[in-house]
Structure 1
Amino acid sequence: MADSYQIKDQGGTYFLTCQVVGWVDVFSRQAYRDIIIDSLKYCIVEKDLIVYAYVIMTNHVHLIVRSNSERLSDTIRDFKRFTSNQILKNIDANQSESRKDWMNVVFEYHARFNKRVKEKQFWTHENHAVELTSNEMIDSKLNYIHENPVRAAWVENAEDYLYSSARSYAGLNNLLEIELI
């Protein structure tokens, strides 16, 4: 992994991208997006995670976060481990998941190349961590996150996408309580 994309300052503010292996469009289903939201809520309350911005796309999640406990790497590792386990269990238990067999093939394939994963790999190892050290960087990444659903042509206005912090920045109710940056 490139040294420049690691979380070095455990108390710093970072832009992160958590990507599903093989770019599998898992989050096209609400149940899996809700697992991400619930897990972020848990991390905020129990692990001192501060979420400034987020968006859940079909195959990746962008975040701007900081850790009050200065254990950001540990928190993100735990978040990815928990959500991976929960989503994989949900996929297997969901009788109406038409893509189950195909997704499991992809997850099993990627696990074969990772010594730390036994059966299935859900997330890529990288988080593409970029420390945000200036207001210009923060503004750029915040705009990038919020414009993702607009660029994907899902919504006309960023605040119309339910699984994004753009709603909070527009003064609307949001699924996840965040801190404005």
Structure 2
Amino acid sequence: MNFPTEHPQFITITVFEWKHLLKPDKYKELILDSLEFLVKEKRVEVYGFVIMSNHFHLIWQIQEPHRREAVQRDFLKYVAQQIKFDLIDNHPEVLKHFQVNKQDRKCQFWKRNALSTDLYSSDVLTQKLDYIHDNPVKAGLCQLPEDYYFSSARFYLQNKNEFGFLYHYDGGE
């Protein structure tokens, strides 16, 4: 497998102070919708993901001429704003747990400096896919990786592309 100049990245986004912000499925769905938008706009290709209650992992590849920093910033900002709007309307007491006294913001949903690692080979990419797909099993949320809905495991293990935006890392959709 030959990767283009820009390699896929394994990225971990952690909720501020590991709080369980993403426990409601509607916030997981928001992340999925945002990823679908980025794929349709040809900003990224998504090879794998898992969304847990307090963090999520992605394996994605930024598409030229876009830059990882800009795509990641815009993606996280949009998701945070949509969650904030929902919390204001429906769960104002929860929003208080994310208030901060910072110069540039009043709320913080994501831990700063998300972990992002370039994946230079298909072996490393496969290892990261296995790792993220095992997250829900290790957390006791399911018996098998493919049983957890908010994951790309079924795409790889059962050939089901329920989300419509996943690309197989070796070239197939």
Q: Shared topology, TM-score over 0.5?
A: yes
Q: Secondary structure at the match of 2:17?
A: helix
More displaced 10-residue stretch of structure 1: 152-161 or 118-127? 118-127
Structure 1 outlier segments of 4+, above 6 Å: none
Q: Give the TM-score, by structure 1 length.
A: 0.84
Q: Select which of 135, 148, 154 maps to 1:148.
A: 135
- Give the structure 2 partner of residue 132 of structure 1: 119
Q: CA 1:149–1:16 in 2, change beyond 3 Å: closer, same or farther?
A: same
Q: Select which of 71, 75, 89 maps to 2:71.
A: 75
Conserved 8 A contact 1:16-1:128: yes
Aligned residues: 164
Q: Select which of 29, 43, 52 maps to 2:24.
A: 29
Q: Secondary structure at the match of 1:142?
A: helix
Deviation at 1:135, TM superposition (A): 2.6
Provide the rounded CA distance (Å) in 1 between the counterparts of 2:105 and 2:5: 28
Is residue 2:37 matched to residue 1:42? yes
Conserved 8 A contact 1:163-1:175: no
Q: Give the TM-score, by structure 2 length.
A: 0.87
- Give the structure 2 partner of residue 51 of structure 1: 46
Provide the rounded CA distance (Å) in 2 between the counterparts of 1:28 and 1:64: 21
Conserved 8 A contact 2:98-2:108: yes
- Give the structure 2 partner of residue 104 of structure 1: 95
* Per-residue deviation, residues 80-131 of structure 1 (Å, max 9, x unmatched): 000000011111211xx4xx42x3233113xx2x44x321111122220111
Is residue 2:66 matched to residue 1:66? no
Q: Secondary structure at the match of 1:27?
A: coil
